């Protein structure tokens, strides 16, 4: 034990010789936005055009282990879901009513059972689903996040309970950053906010045990975002 102790203390002493960045301190350069903390400057810049925002979201999705796919239309999105279902042996897909979700559902193969939540459902029925398909409020380019709420995404459980979360969104739902996402929510709901608001940045993850990254530890193991025009 004495040898181990000396070795650990020697490593600590060596590490303390090099100054570490203190990210909690106020940076020397002032923040560019008055409504956010200095942490904003650590995030990647967002281009003004929609194409730049889509490209940045795609890049962030890769880092976050999110599958991001641009689809020509709802039929192409349904075709990709059918391929995922065949690959994973899916039997049942849960979804809620919505313009985009309904357009995709109408084109899914009949072999995939659909559990629609708007007419009520049993908890064990949702638990037995292989995947859940939801719409969203917005896609946040800067962080690669999907904003979902209880009103736009089929309640609280649909985006959390099934092991694979599928999101269908349109290009018009992109926002540059979290500030814009919150502003959009405030304008849309005018103070009457949904009971549930969540920003999903990739599959759930933890590194608590020996710093080994585990995906899906407390939520869906996979996240797929399908973008239609």
**What's the pLDDT at 221?**
92
Distance between CA atoms of 200 and 140, rounded to whole angstroms? 10
**What's the pLDDT at 8?**
83
**pLDDT beneath 50, residues of the chain:** none
**What's the pLDDT at 66?**
97
**Tokens 């800067």 sit on residue:** 142
Give the rounded distance of the alpha carbon of 142 from its chain centre.
Answer: 12
**What's the pLDDT at 145?**
98
**What's the pLDDT at 219?**
83
**What's the pLDDT at 133?**
98
**What's the pLDDT at 154?**
95
Strand partners, 139: 146, 174
Residue 45 included in any domain: no
With vertex at residue 125, the alpha carbon angle to CA 95 and CA 117, rounded to the nearest 5 degrees, is: 30
Distance between CA atoms of 211 and 205, rounded to whole angstroms? 11
- CATH code (residue 203): 3.40.50.10420
**Tokens 């005018």 sit on residue:** 190
Residue 144 near residue 202, CB atoms below 8 Å: yes
Record the pTM: 0.80
Residue 23 included in any domain: no
Distance between CA atoms of 50 and 175, rounded to whole angstroms? 9
Pick from 165, 166, 168, 167: nearest CA to 219: 165
**Domain span at 149:** 50-228
Residue 40 included in any domain: no
**Tokens 């357009």 sit on residue:** 103
Give the β-pairing of 164-170 and 205-206: unpaired
Residue 19 included in any domain: no
**What's the pLDDT at 14?**
80
Residue 127 included in any domain: yes
**What's the pLDDT at 40?**
61
Q: Give the number of domains in the chain.
A: 1
**What's the pLDDT at 198?**
96
- Give just the sign of the alpha carbon dihedral 43, 44, 47, 50: negative
**What's the pLDDT at 204?**
79
Q: pLDDT tens digits for 141-179?
A: 999 999 999 999 999 999 999 999 999 999 999 999 999
- Does an H or E element contain 64, and which? helix 50-64
């Amino acid at each position: 034990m004495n040898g181990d102790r000396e070795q650990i203390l020697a490593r600590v002493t060596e590490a303390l010789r090099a100054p570490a960045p203190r990210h909690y301190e106020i940076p020397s350069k002032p923040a560019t936005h008055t409504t956010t903390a200095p942490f904003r400057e650590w995030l990647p810049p967002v281009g003004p055009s929609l194409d730049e925002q889509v490209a940045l979201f795609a890049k962030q999705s890769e880092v976050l282990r999110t599958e991001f796919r641009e689809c020509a239309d709802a039929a192409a999105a349904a075709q990709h879901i059918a391929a995922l279902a065949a690959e994973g042996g899916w039997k049942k897909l849960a979804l809620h009513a919505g313009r985009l979700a309904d357009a995709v559902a109408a084109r899914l193969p009949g072999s995939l059972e659909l559990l629609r939540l708007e007419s009520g459902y049993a908890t064990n029925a949702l638990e037995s689903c292989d995947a859940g398909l939801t719409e969203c409020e917005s896609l946040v380019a800067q962080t690669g996040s999907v904003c979902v709420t209880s009103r736009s995404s089929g309640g609280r459980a649909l985006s959390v309970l099934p092991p694979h979360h599928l999101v269908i969104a349109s290009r018009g739902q992109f926002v540059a950053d979290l500030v814009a996402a919150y502003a959009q929510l405030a304008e849309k709901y005018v103070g009457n906010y949904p009971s549930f608001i969540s920003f999903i940045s990739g599959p759930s993850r933890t590194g608590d045990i020996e710093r080994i990254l585990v995906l899906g530890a407390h939520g869906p193991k996979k996240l797929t975002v399908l973008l239609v025009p």
